[in-house]
Every structure is written in structure tokens, then in C-alpha cells.
Structure 1
């Protein structure tokens, strides 16, 4: 007899009409995950809007919850989805990305093994339109990511972190304490990553955990995403928040 399921990791996905067709691939990657005994996943898909274009692509799976809401960007959609995050951990999965086999199990192993680890990330590969993949330079070593190291690297490398925020798996209570994702038109996930790194240790898995799809319709590929004025403002508020958290000496887990 198999062990009864008692614990859950919640996978949160923000989606809008242009990316809805990729949900089938994301679902396939979730179904390929093998979790430790006693664990299950729950996929919360939150549409950034209330159109009729996304629902037809939502998988018919009892482990999937689909919700809609007024548009506000992916950060708002993910944060409102936390109302249905009924598990110990929250895993981010963008609608157009795919998890690799074993990704969730590796995240859980790292977080369950060390209560001082607040979040986990992993190596990511760009998934190109022709199906080929390309790695990112500068991955950190496999193991713990100490407080402040991501922020320092990000600041010294033209606001590019050495770990990918789209691979985050976070303790739910820590994610809620930080207010979810930042209220920004973009870089909201980077803002969360740097805030997490300011208050807690993390973990990096050198094994590939995510295929990050590159396609012409993705938000980060639009001209507005690299507008110099807006980018400067986004980076300024992301850094200011992370620095303020560090200076306040708030930490996770809380000191006795």
C-alpha cells in the first residue's frame, strides 16, 4: 500500500492569452515529476485578465486550479494565486517554461534537509524555437547560496543575477512575509529573488531544473522591457528594497 499523501508543493503559474498554448508542455513536464513518498503537487494557474482565450488550454486534471482576475502583470497574478497556495512550498513555473525531470524532488530535498535554507534555485537552459538549448554563463557552485551574494553579483554585473528567478522554489511562509512579488511592470521576480537573498540563505542545484522558452511573444522580449528609463527605475527600487531588508537585519528563520 502506498503512503498517504500529507504534504504538498504548490506550483504557481501566471498566464495570459499569448502564452496559453504552452500550458500543455508545462503540464507534461509537471506530470513527469517524481516526488518523494507522502508528497503531491497542486498547480494553480492564474490568468492575468478575464478573457475567454486561456480556459480552453487549461489541462483537465484534478490537481489543477484555474482562476482569473483583473490584469496587473505576472507579479500581481502570481501573488493573488497565493490565496490558493495550500502547501508548505511554492514553486514558480511560467506558462511558457518546462520543468526538467527531478526538479521538484531536488528542490524539496534541499529545503527539507536544512531549515536555514529559505529558497532553492537551479540551473536553467534557454529553450530556443528550433528545440535546441543554450546554457547561461556564470552559474554558482552547487550548494548553499549565502545571504547577500546574489545582490552583490547582480549589482556588479549590469543587474543580472547568477541564479535564475524563474527557477525559484520558496517556503510559503517566507514568500508571504515578503509580500509575494514586487508591484513592478517587469523584473518582479528578480525583485523577489534579491529580497529573499537579503533575508535568508538559498540553495543552487547544478542540475538543470528549467527549460526557459525563448519566443517572439514573451514579455521580456518586448521593446518596453528594455526601455532605459523604466529599466533604471525598476533596478533602483529592486536594489533599494533588498538593501533596506538587509539593513533592518530581518532574517529567516527568525533568531531566537
Structure 2
């Protein structure tokens, strides 16, 4: 039986060249024997832009819906995903060679691991790549590790949420991407990090594009103080509540 990893991309008013670069980075991935990937391209709206731009490929599964923001768009794709693993890929980011294979090995290769992340580099407008400090040691991350460091470091995650690969059943159990503006991936990662062990891969898995049009660009509404404080409070409280229940993957 062939196993699958579902790559989810939410699409909203994309830069065409960025979306095509994301596609190129995905179609070049080599997977372990017995695995396949599918790409769930979900539009936030119904313009048909992704269908017009991307090539006809049976591995691409298009979807659309009423405008609702990135979390709802990702969750609609999650509902359609057939893979046992789910991998996020933002419409303007680029996967590095081999990352899907490494994710598969990390999550399926050891008991109690429900999710994996990898090192990311910023892809700057001039094409240069920039790293940043604070990555944890490569290997298994025990439940609670990410949440505790997030709080200790002023709500800065020790791993990049955009690189998340997660067991689909765990993502569904947690309600998918959290319904908060701009930190839905942080909400899902923190929740997963207290109910299951994780894994950090030190090999670079993603080039995270930094450009003026991205939703989380510095100086944007993403960092408005009142809203930021509210969603950090909520994502933290949800993770605390889950930890308090004593839930563990496989229990």
C-alpha cells in the first residue's frame, strides 16, 4: 500500500512567480519507496487563479471556498487531504531538496513523535539567504519544550512554524490551524508540542521568502500591539489547557 504526505498551500492573490517557484520546489522532491505526495492548493476565494497558473498534474488537487482567511483556507484543504502526514507550504516559500523525505523519516521513524520542523533561512528580495540564531539541537523535542521556550523568549518560537509537518490525525484532533489572525500556525504547533513529541531537523528545509507584500512583514498590522497580545494569550492558554489534561499521542 502506498502511503501519502499531503502538502497544503493556501492561495490568496499570489505573486505568480512565487507560486510557480513553490511548485518547482515541490515537484523536485524525492520520496522514500512506498510514498507519494499530493498538493492541496486551496484558494481563499473563488477567482480560479491557481488553476489558471499551475500545470495540469494529477498530484495537484485544487479547492476553493468563501473568503475566510488563511486558517480557514488551510483547514478546508486539511479536510480534503488523504495523506497520513500533512505538510505546510506557504504560497511564496520554497522547499529545499529532500525535506519531505526527512520529514517522513522524522515523524514515522520513532514512537511518540507526532510532528517535525526543520531549519529555515530567510529568502531576501535580492536572492540572498539569511539565517538566524536560536535553533535547538537536532533531534527529538520532548512535549512541553517548545511551549516553555516560547514563553521564556518573549513569545518567540525556537522552531519555525511554517516548516511544520504533522500527523493528520493529530492535526484534526487539535482542530487544525487555529482561528486567530496571523498566528494560526503558531497555535497549531504549540498545541501539538504539548501532546506529542516532536523532531527538529538541522538541515535547511525551507527558504522563507521575505518581501514587502507578505502578510507578516515587519511593520504590518501583524504586530499591532493589542491584537498581538490577545492572540499570544489565547494560543498559550490553549496549549496550557491541553498540557493540563495530560494528553499524549498514543495514549
TM-score class, shorter: over 0.9
Q: Is 2:156 the counterpart of 1:147?
A: no
- Structure 1 runs of 4+ aligned residues shifted over 6 Å read none
Question: What count of residue pairs does the alignment treat as equivalent?
Answer: 250
CA shift for structure 1 position 60: 2.1
Q: Which residue of 2 aligns with 1:218?
A: 214
SS at match of 1:192: helix
Asked if 1:238 is matched to 2:245, the reply is no
TM-score by length of 2: 0.96
Matches for 1:1-256 after TM superposition, within 5 Å: 6-221=2-217, 223-254=220-251
Judge conservation of contact 1:24–1:59 (CA < 8 Å) in 2: no
Q: Deviations over 1:25-79 (max 9, x none)?
A: 0111011111011111000000111124443223321100111111111111011
State the alpha-carbon separation in 2 of the partners of residues 28 and 193 from structure 1. Answer: 26
- Segments of structure 2 that go 5 or more residues without pairing to the other structure are none
For the residues of structure 1 that align with 2:216 and 2:68, how far apart are their CA atoms? 16
Deviation string 1:135-192 (CA, Å, 9 cap, x unpaired) is 1211000100111111111111121101001001101111111010111111000010
Q: Give the CA deviation at 1:224.
A: 1.1
Structure 1 Cα separation of the partners of residues 172 and 250 of structure 2: 14
Cα contact 2:41–2:50 (8 A) shared by 1: no
Q: Which moved more, 1:152-161 or 1:118-127?
A: 152-161
Task: Provide the rounded CA distance (Å) in 2 between the counterparts of 1:110 and 1:252.
Answer: 15
Distance 2:205 2:135 in 1: 13
